[in-house]
Amino acid sequence: MEKITLKLDGLGCASCASKIETRSKNIQGVSNLTLDFSRSKLTFEHEGDTSEALIDEISRIVSALEPDVKISRQNSASFQVDRHSHSDAHHSIAHGHDFRALIRLGLSLLFFAIGLIIKDEPVIHLGALFVAYVLSGHKVLMRSYRNIRRGEVFDENFLMSIATFGAIAIGEYPEAVAVMIFYEIGEYFQDLAVNRSKHAISSLLDIRPDSATLLRDDAWVTVSPEEVKVGDLIMVKPGERIPLDGVIIDGGSDLDTSALTGESIPAYFENGDRVLSGSVVLNGSIKVKVASIYAESTVARILELVENATAHKAPTENFITKFARYYTPVVVAFAAGLVILPTLIFGVDTFDVWLYRGLVFLVISCPCALVVSVPLGFFSGIGNASRHGILVKGSNYLEALQEIDTIIFDKTGTLTEGTFEVFKTHLAGDQLNDAFLLKLAALAESQSNHPVAKSIVSHAAQKIHPDEILSDQEISGHGVLVKTGLGEIAAGNAKLMSRLNIAVPTIDSPYTHIYIALDARFVGAFDIRDKVKHDAKKTIDYVKQLGLNVLMLTGDRKAAAESIGLELGIGEVYSELLPTDKYDIMNARIKSGERVAFVGDGINDAPVLAGATVGISMGALGSDAAIEASDVVLMTDEPYKIVQAIKISRKTKQIVTQNIVFALGTKLLIMALGTIGLSSMWMAIFADVGVALIAVLNATRALTYKV
């Protein structure tokens, strides 16, 4: 199955984009086709060697609906040339269109003004208005003609043509010209706003490296990142993006990882540190030994997730698409009824009055404001989340995230670090002190690789010389015995103490205990626990403030789990669970009507992540299986990003809802006023292109919303 991406430069009509997507999906041999209007990209999959024929067929559909759109294929093997040439071409096309549109509108306004001023000379008056009408409306008229020939009657071009023809028929020449001119002005500013929004989103997600500087035959050469192999040596200079994941083997630099993680503060990386593709080197060149090919690199995985996000449309988007399909014909039918029925009731002499009111309905009826702003709003939200290191796999998941009422956290690796720390020290008597106990513990555990031993050595922070250890013995599942100049030290659990016949006190604590004995005499103990993440408590507090129910599920011991839950303020804690138990608890909540988000990081969480209303995985250290099964990926291991994701989703839905209410409300209001003769075509134009422009500008707030 081959995946092909086409760039549609100059695509400014969201309604046309929807038609292109619908028609292209019906082509035999095409599967998983999506058109991302926000970035003017059409992606589809196919089998066999028919790609060129399919591209030609799609090109014919695009050309028929949008003749000015330039189609080009994005080729990953030569992406560097493609990317810049497409960008330059798009800029050139857009600049050329903008300039020509401004000239045309300027001349239209000039002739319109002449027509309004010189009313006493019918030839000049009508001639100037005619020229202004043709200059401003010829594109609309031509598109309308082409669409009618193809059977595409109910679109904005047809509606504008009929509305202005009707105005001319009843002698409202200046109004007919004004409608066309101000429609074009509105379209111009709407296209400008949409293009700037597209550029802002594309720039935000443009983290793909331009090239890689590869060491080949003792010389540094510039190649595409796809050409670099695992084990190759690449050099990255200040200001460049790291093209592939790897390990620094020479040099050091501050790295800007904000495009990946949302972390605004640069961090210093040096020899031996692992670095991720997409990070920007700020100072000092580094040499990196490549650890993965480009297709498996961090930046490629992020881009793939974002690219695929447009395939999963929110229910609101799907509703608007279906709504637009029926809305315009219904309004047109109502407009026709508004002309015919009152004329029959009140007499033929009122025909002009009702025709004018019907024409107002036609101008209002185009649903552009909704068709453009709703998908743009959702993708702006996805782009904003990406900037914060949160990858949302589709607008449907972004919308679902704001609807959740329960959030379930896994414990280990999600709310805790998954590493141990010494939480408390217990001394056997007043004659001992912490420093001496730590010295004994460090001597005993210095030769062990066990995670608990490492946590004790780290906590002790004492340098142990190898000569201080005379002999050591590790007893599996129990602990260690070490002979030193201070005596024989035993460090381990209660089983070890019992085995050595050493009496130890009962310690009332939910944590794991490590007992220390010197020459068969108990001297103290440590409470060891899984380290709580620094932002875990803040996350739980904020989640509660957002009005969500909070649960914690873990396979850990009951006492340890309840202790963590108490510390973080989580009332419902379920412990000693198998993965199937976690799934059953979550599924029971969903069946009871709750909308549940599950947050986890391990491979054993994959089934629960997949079954949740919204599955959220901790991406930086999480397993590939968890990331694959989840709907939202946090690029760092900071739980607080969950709060940011929920806030962005709620703000995005709020903005989308605002646009729907504003657009429909304004149209319905002016329709109602038009019915009783209190609105004009000027107001109708505002209800169409003016509202669309405002809605587009409002949609972009989802991109700049700060959390």
Cα 421 versus chain centre, distance: 35
DSSP per residue, 609-634: HHHSSEEEEETTTS-HHHHHH-SEEE
Q: State phi, psi for 521 to the nearest 5 degrees.
A: -125, 125
The closest of 215, 212, 213, 244 to 230, measured between CA atoms, is 244
194: which DSSP letter? H
Q: 3-state DSSP call for residue 428?
A: coil
- CB burial string 451-470: b at 16+ within 10 A, e below: ebbebbbebbeeebeeeebe
Q: Look-up: residue for tokens 């015995």?
A: 481
* Cα atoms in the 13 Å half-sphere on the side-chain side of 426: 20
Radius of gyration of the chain, Cα coordinates, nearest whole angstrom: 34
Annotated active-site residue 206? The verdict is no
- Residue 705 near residue 651, CB atoms below 8 Å: yes
* Cα atoms in the 13 Å half-sphere on the side-chain side of 611: 19
DSSP per residue, 227-259: G--TT-EEEE-TTPBP-S-EEEEEE-EEEE-HH
Encoding tokens for residue 621?
Answer: 């250290």
Q: State phi, psi for 586 to the nearest 5 degrees.
A: -65, -45
Q: Which of 36, 410, 601, 637 is catalytic?
A: 410
For 631-689, the three-class secondary structure string (H helix, E strand, C coil) is CEEECCCCCHHHHHHHHHHHHHHHHHHHHHHHHHHHHHHHHHHHHCCCCCHHHHHHHHH
**Which active-site residues does the annotation give?**
410
